[in-house]
Structure 1
Amino acid sequence: MASLDIKELQRRMDGAINSFKSDLAGLRTGRASPNLLDPIMVDAYGSSMPLNQVANITVPEARMVAVTVWDKQMVGKVERAIRESSLGLNPITDGQTLRIPLPELNEQRRKELVKVAHQYGESARVAARHVRRDGMDSLKKMEKDGDIGQDESRQMSDKVQKMTDDTIAEIDKLLSAKEGEIMQV
């Protein structure tokens, strides 16, 4: 007899939240952080890799991030990836090290960052809804195949819906906290 794996659905919902948290950690709030560059992907050795897999990222000062690229040939690609990211950063190349000064956040830049945070939030909500849809589809199939009855199907779908609602509420809570952090002058 087949059954819906609630723990697996919960794990996937938690994954959406954790992914969202790491996306938010990459948003700049005015202080330098090595996590700031986490969302940046670099075309390296024929594939797209996270920046932290081709370079060492440090914070020598409160408003400065230093990126030391391990492979000399990658410096240009890393610089391009940072410039083309949605973070609005302008690296200064110094040999194999890129120094990235963080400009003061002006009102317009803060609003742009809030928009980016909202996009991340929407992506996380969509991921949670996909998990819900997969769970609901499994339930419908199990009911149709006669593996579970209508009542059990309804109970399980209520559980899946509650899990989805809780996940989306958590995403909204994280988003509003980050929005407050970004807009704080």
Structure 2
Amino acid sequence: MEEVQQILSLSKKEMEKSLEHLKTDFSKIRTGKANPNMLDTIKVEYYGVITALNKIANISIIDSTTLSIYPWERSLLSSIERALINANIGFTPMNNGEAIIIHFPPITEERRKELVKIAKEEAELGKVSIRNVRKETNHLLKKNKNISEDLLELSEEKVQKITNTYIHQIDELLAGKAKEIMTI
């Protein structure tokens, strides 16, 4: 019985990782509002070391469509600007000598619909990941010779309930993200 609990616990942890990964992916999808998380993937060369932008600069929201990036050292302005341009995120950074300003143009209705489709694709990938964890967990349970058939059946039902819970959470995240994207 203890082995079953360990397997179920490991399964929950793996599904939680999938959910957190999806949340991270959702935070990178532009919603029409400026969000510092959109720049989390930007890396800048800092004294020969590739470093995350948020580790070498303060990123703040000026208004709903504008971000400002104040580096800890002014000498990094050109490196940050170059990294933003090379990242090809679709925005032109403006360097004013003290900070880099990024203005996000409004999103068209057509682009909003495309972004919702992208969010749906990400959500589906998250669901597939969770289903794969379920499949691996059921395989581990079946492979274990110390588990009776009744216990195996109960365990598989528990795995399915856990899976359904995480799938439902993904559906809720997707609904919230779609609403956020479509809100002007």
Q: TM-score, normalised by structure 2?
A: 0.79
1:36 aligned residue: 38
1:159 aligned residue: 158
Q: CA deviation at 1:2?
A: 6.4
CA distance in 2, matches of 1:26, 1:165: 26
Number of residue pairs matched by the alignment: 181
Q: CA deviation at 1:36?
A: 2.9
1:52 aligned residue: 54
1:7 is matched by which residue type in structure 2?
S
CA distance in 2, matches of 1:103, 1:67: 17
Q: CA deviation at 1:101?
A: 0.2
1:94 is matched by which residue type in structure 2?
N
- Structure 1: gaps of 5 or more residues: none
Preserved contact between residue 70 and residue 96 of structure 1 (Cα < 8 Å): no
2:130 aligned residue: 128
2:147 aligned residue: 148
1:111 is matched by which residue type in structure 2?
K
Q: CA deviation at 1:49?
A: 5.1
Preserved contact between residue 22 and residue 122 of structure 2 (Cα < 8 Å): yes
CA distance in 2, matches of 1:48, 1:165: 40
Q: CA deviation at 1:130?
A: 2.7
Q: CA deviation at 1:165?
A: 1.8
1:23 aligned residue: 25
2:180 aligned residue: 181
Task: State the secondary structure of the residue aligned to 1:3.
Answer: helix
Is 20-29 or 75-84 further displaced after alignment?
75-84
Question: Is 1:3–2:3 an aligned residue pair?
Answer: yes
Query: Where do residues 64-143 of structure 1 align in structure 2 (5 Å cutoff)?
Result: 64-70=66-72, 75=77, 78-79=80-81, 81-83=83-85, 88-95=90-97, 97-142=99-144
CA distance in 2, matches of 1:140, 1:115: 37
Q: Deviations over 1:136-156 (max 9, x none)?
A: 2211220xxx21112211211
Cα RMSD of the aligned pairs, angstroms, is 2.8
1:18 is matched by which residue type in structure 2?
E
Preserved contact between residue 74 and residue 98 of structure 2 (Cα < 8 Å): yes
Query: Identity rate of aligned residues, in percent?
Result: 34
Q: TM-score, normalised by structure 1?
A: 0.79
Q: CA deviation at 1:85?
A: 5.3
